[in-house]
Chain A
Amino acid sequence: MSKAADEPKAFGGQTVDSVTCDHNVAKVAILGVPDVPGIAARLFSRLAERDVKVGMIIQSIMRGGVNDIAFLVRRDILGKAIEACREVAKEIGSQGVTFDAEIGRVTVTGPGVSERPEVPYQVFSTLAQEGINIDMISSTNESITCVVESSDVERAVEALRRCFLS
């Protein structure tokens, strides 16, 4: 991978321990959720009742009195999530629910990765140089996860491994 002269060098194993991927994910987005307390609780309690584990919950900035709420579920139980989300979307008077199963997630893991500003920068610039669009981003102290199109997952993993682990 070519690098501009002013870019930081890859960090090797000192910061990043692993680059992994997961194809078993799908995205759910509930559109136009009224911005009142208790709505998110109702949605996620319904999913919990159906034993649908969720991750990477993102709420958009409230505009016009509504938000969109997006999250990931396991693709192999998407059917259960569809049923539960449709029920709640109808009850709360949202505008609709949309689903995307053509995604995967790529995770860069290591001690304190998200506290080192150069690491997220390297992740995003590496994917950008590959022409890979990032659909969702989340981070913890020890990981940075990007959701990308499923057909881009392998290429993203290879590029990030070249960047951090070679």
Chain B
Amino acid sequence: MILRVKVPASSANLGSGFDTLGMALSLYNFYDLLSLLPSGSYEIEVIGEGEHELEDPIGNLLIKSYERAAGELGIEAPGLKLRCLNAIPLRRGLGSSSSAVVGGVLLANAMRDNPLDKDELLALMVAIEGHPDNVVPSCLGGMVVSSWDGRELRYVKLPSPPRDIVVVVAVPNVEVSTSEARQALPEQVSLSDAIFNVSRVALLAASWATGQWDHLPWAMEDRLHQQFRARLFPGGEEILERVRSVPGCLGVAISGSGPSVMAFARGNVQEVAEAACRTFMEKGVRSRFFVLDIDENGAVVEYTEPSLDKEEIQHVKSGR
């Protein structure tokens, strides 16, 4: 193995922070570069999530992101032999596609003579993904407030919460595509709903930044997207209310565009998780749950033998 790119899952659209707030989670895909191939050739082995559908390089988001990033970064991109160890569930609102975008861009960056820092690559990642709230935390780690106008990216990474606050994610065995979830949203919202969300998301960011965790359940409430997306999966319309009522729950939201549901919990972790999974079960849907931390490191590139591997990359790129 030449190098491993370790990329965390992410939970975005957090409650009131539609397209704005997201966090990296301690659940990871490993993208292992096994060897370099002639330009344009790819061999992909996928183990775990997506192992029967992601092995064709055509349409594979990791490869598309790698090639686009190589073009943007102005490098001759060799082909790749990759092994993807995927633990992030697909199409469940946990940032699996964003992890592929981050992974592909970082693979291309590793081919540079002088790789750029991660924050210099963020705008490119956001341009590939189309919105910032998954890729920015997935790349940088932490809870991040992001703003993107289609060209320029502004973001602030917030401080870490106390260790006893964990993220419970219930993942049902149904899928919601991001495009379907986008189509479920109305074209216009009322001024009162817009004000409702502005007040909540401002409070959420301010509370998080200053460690006033008791505000979270209130600050995560939303009127812009969740009620429309909750209709797209079984249990969606009941689950937020039921989980919110469990003592120890510090706020609950649809993760990404669903169907996973995330909650902050301080104590009573099992009860919070079981309230969510029981709701899915009552609707006849199997689910499992994760108890995760906010990942603070974001994506990491690990070289097995740095000097040797840099030489190998140079060797293939120069065609010797």
Task: List chain A positions with a Cβ less than 8 A from chain B.
Answer: 31-32, 63-64, 66, 78-79, 82, 86, 90, 95-102, 149-151
User: Which residue in B9, B28, B270, B290 is a CB contact (below 8 Å) of A32?
Assistant: B28
Q: Does B26 contact A (CB under 8 A)?
A: yes
With an 8 A cutoff between CB atoms, is B71 at the interface?
A: no
Interface residues on B, range: 20 to 34
Q: Report whether A101 and B274 are in contact in the complex, using a CB–CB cutoff of 8 Å.
A: yes
Contacts A64-B85, A101-B273, A101-B277 hold; do A95 and B288 have CB atoms under 8 A apart?
no
**Any A CB within 8 A of the CB of B48:** yes
A151 to B29 CA separation, bound complex (whole angstroms): 32
Q: Can you report 12 A-B residue pairs in the complex whose CB atoms are below 8 A from each other?
A: A66-B85, A79-B270, A82-B291, A96-B26, A96-B292, A98-B288, A99-B289, A99-B291, A101-B277, A102-B278, A102-B287, A149-B286
**Contact status A102-B281, CB under 8 Å:** yes
**Further contacts, 8 of them, CB under 8 A, given A64-B32, A66-B47, A102-B286:** A82-B269, A97-B291, A98-B171, A99-B273, A99-B288, A100-B289, A101-B273, A149-B286
Tell me, in angstroms, the Cα distance from A120 to B117 when the chains sit together. 57
The answer on a CB contact under 8 Å between B281 and A32 is no
CB pair A31 B292 closer than 8 Å: no
**How distant is A92 from chain B, measured CB to nearest CB, in Å?**
13
CA A69 to CA B48, docked complex, whole Å = 13
CB distance from A11 to the nearest CB of B (A): 32
The answer to the question of B175 belonging to the interface, with a C-beta cut-off of 8 Å to chain A, is no
Give the residues in chain A near B278, CB-CB below 8 Å.
Answer: 102
**What residue of chain B has the Cβ atom nearest to residue A77's Cβ?**
B270
> B27 to chain A: which residues have CB within 8 Å?
95-96
- B residues lining the A interface (CB < 8 Å): 9, 26-30, 32, 45, 47-48, 83, 85, 87, 171, 269-270, 273-274, 277-278, 281, 286-293
Closest to A95 in B: B87
A66 to B287, CA, bound (A): 24
Q: How close is A95's CB to chain B, nearest CB, in angstroms?
A: 4
Chain A residue nearest in CB terms to B281: A102
Q: How many angstroms between the C-alpha atoms of A82 and B287 in the bound complex? A: 17
Q: Are B273 and A31 interface neighbours, CB within 8 A? A: no
Minimal Cβ-Cβ distance residue in B for A66: B85
| CB atoms of B277 and A102 under 8 A apart | yes
